[in-house]
Chain A
Amino acid sequence: MSAQSAFHASAGDLNAQSLRADARRESLRLLALLSPSLFLVFAIIIVPIGWLFWLSLFDEAGFLSTANYARFFEQASYIKTFVTTFKVAFIVTGACVLLGYPLAYMLSQLPRRAASICLIFVILPFWTSVLVRTYAWLVILQRKGLINSWLIDLGVISQPLSLANNLSGVVIGMTHILLPFLVLPLYASMKTIDGDCLRAGMNLGAGPVATFRQIFFPLSLPGLASGVVIVFVLCLGFFVTPALMGGGKVIMWAMRMEQTTSLYSNWGAGAALGVVLLVVTLALLGLFQWLLGARATGVWSSR
């Protein structure tokens, strides 16, 4: 009896050992397969970012210094630019959610054929250059542009609205360009929501609003979260639209980088701007992950 169990135990041990060895071999093989891409990531992402960070620590004369970072506090315009960048990013992300959520919801509810036709209209602007679309908005929004001349001709307004060359122009232009980045992941996640869950909810006596609020919306949150993160991060680094639509009054971080790089004769000045944006963005991503991740998976599903 005891001999038998010992035999069983040692056989089990043996089995476990060989399984472990197998698993180790397997993971080594996977690592070997992965190594080219890992090397690529290291060479084209990790090394340059490290270099950027390194460069930002040197002043004009080539000595280690914090001058490039101290500048942000000495010159008021950097903090102003920083605040503007985040203000624009929040407004644009908010506008994208307000416009994109209903759109994605509608697309997910349409029959397949109609949905794919509508999706083409979402994707089509993607294929047009950002520059062209921004100039198009300029034509529409400026003082003597389409909207103002229509409104004046219709007698709705007597003075042209200032829609271009200010914050509203930047927000309108950027929202248009970034909307697909929110709609596409959101639509994809909405499509995976099981219709039976909704039907079950209705069956148990929930009205349409309650079903949406308690079942559909929570299930769509992971898609919304990824869309929001993509749009927000793209906003932070946006250049073309604010440069053309902002009338020089809405200076965002990327524009500042370009300016600073050509103004100072050391790369550190521009590099420091890059490092600050990277660190703040990563910190915010961490925050998003913590907030939205918990929300989308933990809090809501335990209800």
Chain B
Amino acid sequence: MNMTRNVSVVAVAALMASLAAPAVAGDTITVASWGGTYQEAQTKAFFKPTADALGITIKEDTTNGLDDVRLQVSGNAVKWDITELGADECARGSKEGLFEKLDYGIIDKSGINPKLVHDDWVGISYTSVVLIYRTDVFGDKGPKTWADFWNVEKFPGRRALSGSQATETLSVAALAEGIPIDKVYPVDIDGALKSVDKIRGHVDAWWTSGAQAMQLVKDGEVDMASIWNGRAGTLKKEGAPVSFSFDQGVLTADCMVIPKGAKNKEAAMKALAMFVSPQLQANLPLYVDNGPVNEKAFETGKIPPERIKDINSAPENVKKQVLQDAEFWRDTLVEATEKFNNLVQQ
């Protein structure tokens, strides 16, 4: 009896809460990102503070990328108000007209690399492709540059490169040919493919996910690999005998968009403006290794000075790396990927 009453009280309270919450707190928007530790960090860095500041509710979902947006927009069933994508996906989706225009009257773009500020998409964070090697195999005399990685005589050992991200592997292949970091883009695709051709016989695994790259290095299946800096940082934190640096890294940006037909466009615009603001951007590196896209974040004083050198988008580190050109890959991705697959699967 008592029990039943308790249950019904709880049920009524829950019902009232669910009815009352949106009315009190204002709009509800849904944001989709990649899930995992990265999204957990975003929740703490971006979503929660934004929800608190704007008095809105932010629901979260996870995305598989551009296909999902395409499916929702073409099916007239847009679930998300904001979604994260890779920058080359944003560039392609923009060409296909899948996104709403952004209002830079609301979103302050200062501090963001102009290459990542577009009519309908804006950068949100950076990942770097870096060269990692095992110190139990090479000590501290491991391969430091992509030319070293390509040098199988001087650095014998097992190797892994990305098989799924042809754009990244072609960029490092160009670097391996000795092309200076500011001359890599526009990538000479045929030249880069020739470079891949030289190394492919020595590649023991072409990884297709960040987790796989991590596992290959962690278990000693390979002695050196290309890997995303977040994964590399995790390996180091876990105590794996590895070393990596941002020298000759390939900076790839992630971006955020409002899918065409999003239900709460206005609230989404305000939320997005918060996400890219220096204050919230400065939160991101406190939780994860993906660097802020807004360089003013480094001036907020929120990021401890000793942390700054480990952040891929810190001004010092940006100088050492190549920035992936999303618009270049927008127009060349399909052709380059097909050619890359033909070569790798020969």
Instruction: Please list the residues of chain A having a beta carbon within 8 angstroms of any beta carbon in chain B.
Output: 75-77, 80-81, 138-139, 142-145, 162, 164-165, 243-244, 247-249, 251, 255, 259, 261-265
Contacts and interface: CB of A to CB of B under 8 A. Distances in A.
A246 B346 CA distance: 15
B342 interface: yes
B65 interface: yes
B92 A165 contact: no
Nearest to B161: A248
22 contacts: A75-B338, A75-B341, A76-B345, A76-B346, A80-B345, A80-B346, A138-B215, A142-B219, A143-B219, A143-B220, A144-B219, A144-B220, A164-B221, A165-B205, A248-B164, A248-B205, A248-B208, A255-B208, A259-B341, A262-B65, A262-B67, A265-B66
Contacts of B66: 262, 265
Contacts of B70: 265
Nearest to A249: B206
Given A262-B67, A263-B333, A263-B334, A81 B345 contact: yes
A251 B345 contact: yes
A263 B221 contact: no
A248 B162 CA distance: 9
A259 B205 CA distance: 17
B342 A77 contact: yes
Contacts of B219: 138-139, 142-145
B345 A263 contact: no
Nearest to A265: B96
B337 A247 contact: no
Contacts of A243: 208
B233 interface: no
B158 interface: yes
Contacts of A162: 204
Interface in B313-346: 333-334, 337-338, 341-342, 344-346
Given A143-B220, A265-B92, A248 B206 contact: yes
Interface residues of B, number: 31
Contact of A244 (B212, B333, B334): B212
Contacts of B345: 76-77, 80-81, 249, 251
A248 B96 contact: no
A262 B216 CA distance: 25
Contacts of A265: 66, 70, 92, 96
Given A143-B158, A248-B207, A248-B208, A75 B342 contact: yes
A263 B165 CA distance: 11
B49 interface: no
Given A138-B219, A162-B204, A265-B92, 9 more contacts: A77-B342, A139-B219, A142-B219, A145-B219, A165-B221, A244-B212, A247-B205, A248-B163, A251-B345
A77 B341 CA distance: 6
Instruction: Report, nearest first, the 9 A-B pairs whose CB atoms are least far apart.
Output: A248-B206, A248-B163, A247-B205, A77-B341, A77-B342, A77-B345, A165-B205, A144-B220, A76-B342
A140 B304 CA distance: 43
Contacts of A247: 160, 204-206
A143 B220 CA distance: 7
Nearest to A244: B212
A255 B67 CA distance: 15
A262 B66 CA distance: 7
Given A77-B341, A77-B345, A81-B345, A259 B164 contact: yes
A142 B212 CA distance: 13
Contacts of B96: 265
Contacts of A262: 64-67
Nearest to B162: A248
A263 B212 contact: no
A240 B338 CA distance: 22
Contacts of B160: 247
Nearest to B223: A143
Contact of A144 (B64, B67, B206, B221): B221
A243 B220 CA distance: 19
Contacts of A142: 219, 221
A77 B345 CA distance: 6
Contacts of B206: 247-249
Nearest to B95: A265
Contacts of B164: 248, 259
A247 B207 CA distance: 6
Contacts of A80: 345-346
Interface in B171-211: 204-208
Interface in B201-241: 204-208, 212, 215-216, 219-221
Contacts of B92: 265
